[in-house]
Structure 1
Amino acid sequence: MHSIPNIAVPTIAIEGSDARFPVRRIFCVGQNYADHAREMGSDPDRAPPFFFTKPADAVVANGAVLPFPPRTDNLHHEVELVVALASGGSDLSPDEAVQAVFGWTVGIDLTRRDLQAEAKKAGRPWDMAKGFDHSAPTGSLLRGTPPAKGAIRLSVDGEQRQSGDLSEMIWTVPEIIATLSTFVVLAPGDLIFTGTPSGVGPIRKGQVVEAVIEGAAPLTLSFAT
C-alpha cells in the first residue's frame, strides 16, 4: 500500500526577499491585445474577456533549461504581464481588485499551437495546448500595483519577435480581476496572465527566449536540443 504523498506547493521568487510566493492557481486571459486578436483571426472589439487555466506547477524560474514539450511541432511564445494576488473574493469592483494585488512580473504563456488549432477545429478544450508541464515561465515578483503602461517585448536568439505596450491591453488589470471574480472566488496565491501582444511565433529546440517588461528584470529560458 502506498503512503500518502507529500506534495510541495509551487512557488515563485520575490524581488529583494528570500521569501517565495506560493502559487495556488493560474488563470490566463485570451486575446487581450487588439493586434494579437487580429493575428489569431478574431474581432478585437471589446468583447468580454475569456479565461483558461494552467496548473500551478507549470511555473518555471528564470534561467531554466527546459525539455522541449512532447506532442507538438509548433511550440509558440506569448509574453505577458503576470499579476499575483494577496487576497481574493467574488464580485469584486475594479477598485477592490486593485487592493487584492500582491505584485507583478513578466511571464511567458507557452502554447502548443498545433494542438490548440486541432482543439478549436473540433470544439474541444485547450487544456493540452496550454496547460502542459513547464508551460508558465514566470519572473521574480515586484511588490505593488502593476504599471498601466510600459514596453513589453520578447526575443528569440536575440531577434525581437514581440513588441508592444501595456497600455494597449483591451481590458485593464483591475477589469480583468473584477471580471474573473464573477466566475470564481479568487484567493491569495492566484496568478493571472493578462494576455500577449502580436508577434507570437515558433520556438525551436536549442533556442534562447528572453521576455522583458519595462521596470522588471528580464525572464530568460532556453530549450534543450
Structure 2
Amino acid sequence: MSADGYLRGGGQTYLDNANKVWNWLSNSGMRNSQGLYNDGLDFNTCQNNGQTTWTYNQGVIASGLAALYSATGNTTLLDQAEITLDATIAHLTQNDILKESCDNAASGGSVCDADQQLFKGLWTKHLQYYLDMANDPARTAKYSPFLGSQDSAVFHFGTDASNDVGSVWYAPNQGGSIFTPKTSTSGLEAHVASANLHIYW
C-alpha cells in the first residue's frame, strides 16, 4: 500500500516505508523452500509458522513488488515476485488450475470458509495488477496462458446451471463445491482479470 501511495500522490515517506517493508519481509523467513509464503510467523520464535500457503498471500506480495518496481525501476523486484508466482503455479494447482488446500470436488472433504472462498479470485486479480504494473510484454506472455486457463476452468468446471460459480475450479463438481456470493465473486475476479488482458478461450 505504501508503494501505491507513492505512485498515486508522491511523498518520500511512502516510498521509504515500502522499501522498509520489503526489506523486512525478504529477511523474515516467511517464504519457504518452495518459494511460497506461509501464513505468518510464530509469535514466540519469530520463525516461519509453517502454516498454509494460501494462494492470495502469494498474489498480494507479487503485486506489491510490482508497485515498488514502478516506483523505483528495480527489476530485481519483479524477479522476486516471479519466484513466488512460479511457485504458486507449480505447487498450488491441480490440472494447471488453482486449488486451495480446502478445495474438494468430491463431497465429504474439507470446505473452504467464507474468507478462503475468495482467495483464488484474489490471486488472479493481483496477477493482473502485477502484469499491469510490470508493463513488460514478455512477462505478460509468460503468465497470460495460465490466467486464461483459470478463466476457462471457472466457466467449464466452476459454473453451475444457474450461472453461479462454486468454490472448486480444478475439476467438475462431484458434490464438494459450495456456491455462495463469495465464490461467485472469486470466479468473477478471474473472468475480469483475464478480460483485462484480452485473454479469450
TM-score, normalised by the number of residues in structure 1: 0.23
Higher relative contact order (CA 8 A, sep 6+): 1
Structure number having the greater helix percentage: 2
Structure number having the greater strand percentage: 1
